[in-house]
Amino acid sequence: MHLIREFEVRCTQSYQDKKIGGFCHVYIGQEAVAVGCTQAVRPEDPIITAYRDHGHALARGMTARACMAEMYGKVGGCAKGKGGSMHMFDRPNNLYGGHGIVGAQTPLGAGLAFATKYEDEVINGGKNTRVTLCFLGDGAVNQGAFYEAMNLAGLFDIPVIFIVENNGYSMGTAIDRGTTMSHDLCIKGRAHGLKEAVIDGMDLLAVYHDMHELAEWCRANSRPAFVDMKCYRYKGHSMSDPRKYRTREEEERYEANDAIAKFEKALLDHGVVTEESVKEMLKGVREEVRDSIQFSNESPEPPLSDLYTDVFVEPWGRYTGSSLPEFMGGADNVCGFRATDGKEGLV
Amino acid sequence: MTAVLSNPVFREPSSLAGPVREIEFRDAIREAMSEEMRRDKRVFLLGEEVAQYDGAYKVSKGMLAEFGPRRIIDTPISESGFAGMAIGAAAMGLRPIVEFMSWSFSLVAADPILNNAPKMLYMSGGQLGCPIVFRGNDGAGGQLGSTHSWCVEGLYSNVPGVKIVIPSCPADAKGLMKTAIRDDDPVFFLESERMLGNKGHVPEGEYLIPFGHAAVRRAGTHCTLASWGRPVNFCLEAAEILAKEGIDCEVIDLRTIRPLDLPTVVKSVKKTNCAVVVDQSWSFSSPGGELAALIHKHCFDDLDNFVHRVHSDDVPTPYSAKLEQEYLPNVRKICEAVRSATYRA
């Protein structure tokens, strides 16, 4: 949690220094959600989220270097600088994005879970072993795609947990201004037969405990669930948000209930950590983030040839592309499947 | 690239020996899907009415009985949801075939099929691909009215990262579908309701047709007719009429428009010095317009006339049978375009 917070603080500075471009949404305040949820499941359980994704990436095991360099648009980034802040992908750690269109990740999340279940049961002839975590904001609750995803998940017994990170605002719109039944969000999941839970997202232990129990239920029963994860983002929706839609008093009230401070106090009270070891850890975290900034500064810009890679997959001929106004790019692609040894046509 | 061609599974259907076997277009697609599903358990079919109903157009007839409900999956009427779900499954390594009852219905799934499928590989820096096939009926189906008669290639061919296949005959439909299923990229496979009952020779043996390989359906010397999908058949009809008038047309079936086999078209136009592009989509910002521009670029000194184009008329698709026939790129319009392009009007 300290790593995420420190990372986001330095990320904000880098944005102000114009090292990071485009849209950038920081996770400060909500750290307990990503950390508690990822710790509550197994590394092989897929995770997918929306555009406020740095916290999930770090919690899932992406290095601060890869995450920061991605935002710097450098080759050392997790997607070689092709995705950016909103599109963090980490296949080895089973993080399937980082998706920029509100709610669009929810059918995809159902698909990840459909696939793990299909692999376990249809291909391998066993029993479902995995559960997918699909994060979304409370703003995404009003997207049609989410309702289709919940319906399909309920219908096909898909083991996916839709975790609504309910921070009370979709951009600048307070939840009760945009969402019906906002006092009881779980009714949205209930309508599709999803198991439901309301969890205090500002309490790491509550998130971990409740999510672990829910995830194991979903795994064992191969059923979907809906979580109203109550939380709060301390900063604006994105870097350009002056937060005029809420009061400073409201922000202070939530900041006084900070999840990191609370968990730290609990650990100190139980003698798990000491003031010294916390300081030591903070020092390490600051060093790690400082290192990620240095790495990102030093990591090279992507070569222009990178513009044309990763458009299509082999083995059908690597796409080399072209910026020429051609329909299929350069000559290499126009005749991508044609023999180059002078023999035309097929075998 | 040579490695692809040396792959023995790639062959023209006409190169296979064996008795003549006439089957319908829909049977050819079903054979391709069934063969690939027997070969690879990761392949499954989902869509509206594909299972218990045996397919709204009977393309998947009998597949539920063979493969069971875990692999032939009826979905609710929820295109955005099930297209997105299939894309998520493809990102995890499965190989879904998504049937849109009509490509017209894919418009409500535009976000997942255009924003997720073709960009996954790029945005993840090559970490995640999307081996998925979207297929269904495209173009006017016969008095279905404007909302159900979309030629989506006019919209979707603008997007990098997709492969677009538009077969014109049963044999190609089978060979191209098998290639589409084995392809590691998202493939949009555009069928036509009006062709599903068309019969043609489809050889017994296994064959795959690689993408980006046009077929010369008719050799000729006076004018090149370049087309794909259903209008290829209109071009062949027009060529017969024009032959009686002394105009000898070469008909090229592009088969796929992404990738586009430009060299075959260019080679033909350099011979005929004349080209007519026939494209069922609307003319403005269309694949036909793109092909015409490419021909102008690559055959600038070879052309005796500007490239003529035949499209659907620039109006919403009408319901009336008479108006619809006039609206489509029909045989009469193609003949008129060729006569004009060859100065025989």
Residue B44 belongs to domain with CATH number: 3.40.50.970
Residues B44 and B177 in one domain: yes
Q: Say whether pLDDT at A332 is over 70.
A: no
How far does the CA of residue B292 sit from the closest CA of chain A (Å)? 11
Tell me: do B243 and B124 sit in the same domain.
Answer: no
CA B42 vs CA A125, B71, B182: distances in Å: 13, 9, 11
Residue A347: band (very low, low, confident or very high) from pLDDT cuts 50, 70, 90: very low
Percentage, residues of chain B above pLDDT 70: 98
Do A126 and A240 lie in one domain? The reply is yes
Res. A331: pLDDT tops 80: no
Minimum distance, in Å, between the CA of residue B119 and any CA atom of chain A: 7
Three-point CA angle B144, B146, B149, nearest 5°: 60
pLDDT digits (tens, 9 = 90+) for A155-178: 999 999 999 999 999 999 999 999
Q: In B, which residues are within 8 Å of A118 by CB distance?
A: 44, 70, 89, 94
For A153, the closest chain B residue by CA position comes to B85
Residue B175 and residue B84: Cα distance in Å, rounded? 27
Domain that holds residue A335: 305-347
Is the pLDDT reported for residue A95 higher than 60?
yes
Whether A329 shows a pLDDT value over 80: the answer reads no
pLDDT tens track for B181-204? 999 999 999 999 999 999 999 999
Residue B206, domain member (yes or no): no
Same domain, B168 and B223: no
Domain membership flag for residue B209: no
CATH label of the domain that carries residue B337: 3.40.50.920
Q: At B303, phi and psi to the nearest 5?
A: -80, 135
Report CB contact under 8 Å: A77, B125: yes
Domain count of chain B? 2
Are B244 and B326 contained in the same domain? Answer: yes
**Contact (CB, 8 A) for A57 and A88:** yes
pLDDT at A346: 30
Which of B53, B61, B73, B67 lies closest to B29 in space, CA to CA?
B61
A21 DSSP β-pair partners: none
Which pLDDT score is estimated for A330?
40
ipTM of the complex: 0.94
Q: Are A230 and A321 found together in one domain?
A: no
Give Rg (Cα) of chain A: 22
B288 assigned to some structural domain: yes
Domain identity same for A180 and A244: yes
Describe chain A by its helix, strand, coil percentages, rounded to 5: 45, 10, 45
Are A252 and A343 in a shared domain?
A: no
Say whether A82 and B125 touch across the interface (CB within 8 A). Answer: yes
**Do residues B144 and B272 share a domain?**
no
Tokens of B93: 């390594």
Of the residues B159, B178, B201, the one at which a domain ends? B201
Cα(B299)–Cα(B272) distance, rounded to whole angstroms? Answer: 11
- Gap from A267 CA to chain B (nearest CA, Å): 38
The mean-pLDDT minimum among B5-9, B136-140, B201-205, B253-257 falls in B5-9
Clarify whether residues B94 and B123 are in a common domain. yes
pLDDT at res. B7: 58
Residue tagged 């020092």 (tokens): A283
Confidence of residue A312 (pLDDT cuts 50, 70, 90): confident
What domain range includes position B60?
A: 2-201
Stretch A189-195: mean pLDDT: 97
Residue A260 belongs to domain with CATH number? 3.40.50.970
| Binary contact (B41, A333; C-beta < 8 A) | no
pLDDT (tens digit per residue) in B261-291: 899 999 999 999 999 999 999 999 999 999 9
Q: For residues A37-63, give the mean pLDDT.
A: 98
Same domain, yes or no: A215 and A332: no
Q: For this structure, is B193 an active site residue? A: no
Which of A110, A144, A347 is facing B85, going by the closest CB pair? A110
Closest CA to A223 of A132, A103, A96, A148: A132
Confidence of residue A268 (pLDDT cuts 50, 70, 90): very high
Residues A93 and A159 in one domain: yes
- pLDDT beyond 70 at A334: no
Known catalytic residue: B250? Answer: no
Shared domain for A141 and A281, answered yes or no, is yes
Say how many domains are in chain A.
2
Q: Choose among A111, A317, A334: nearest Cβ to B89.
A: A111
Beta strands A160-166 and A132-137 are parallel
Token pair listed for B217: 């359906």
Q: Each residue of B84-127: pLDDT tens digit?
A: 999 999 999 999 999 999 999 999 999 999 999 999 999 999 99
Q: What does the alpha-carbon distance between residue B29 and residue B32 come to, in Å, rounded to a whole number?
A: 5
- CA pseudo-torsion sign B253, B258, B259, B264: positive
Please indicate, yes or no, whether residues B142 and B85 belong to a single structural domain of this protein: yes
Same domain, B128 and B231: no
Q: Are A236 and A325 in a shared domain?
A: no
Name chain B contacts of A87, Cβ cutoff 8 Å. Answer: 123-124
**% of chain A at pLDDT higher than 70:** 90
Please, which residues 132-191 of chain B have a Cβ atom closer than 8 Å to chain A?
160-161, 163, 183-185
| DSSP line for A20-56 | S-S-----TT-HHHHHHHHHHS-TTS-EEE-S--HHH
How far apart CA A48 and CA B21 sit, in angstroms, is 48
Other CB atoms within a 10 A radius of the CB of residue B28 amount to: 27
Model pLDDT for residues B55-89, shown as the tens digit of each residue: 999 999 999 999 999 999 999 999 999 999 999 99
- How are beta strands A95-98 and A89-90 bridged, if at all? antiparallel
Asked if residue B145 is part of any domain, the answer here is yes
pLDDT (average), residues A331-346: 34
In the sheet that holds B223-227, the strands lie side by side as: B215-218, B249-253, B223-227, B275-282, B308-312
- Residue B208 belongs to some domain of the structure: no
The catalytically annotated residue of B24, B36, B79, B153 is B79
Same-domain status, B195 and B219: no
In chain B, which among 16-55 make CB contacts under 8 A with chain A?
41-42, 44
> Does A317 share its domain with A252?
no
- Residue A159 contacts residue A188 (beta carbons within 8 Å): no
- Mean pLDDT, to the nearest integer, of A38-47? 98
Residues A218, A336, single domain; the answer is no
Q: Are residues A114 and A222 in the same domain?
A: yes
Give the one of B70, B78, B213 whose C-beta lies nearest to A122's C-beta.
Answer: B70
Among chain B residues, the shortest Cα distance to A148 is held by: B81
Same domain, A287 and A319: no
Q: What is the mean pLDDT of residues B163-191?
A: 96
Residue B207 lies in a domain: no
- Least CB-CB distance to A87: which of B75, B83, B123? B123
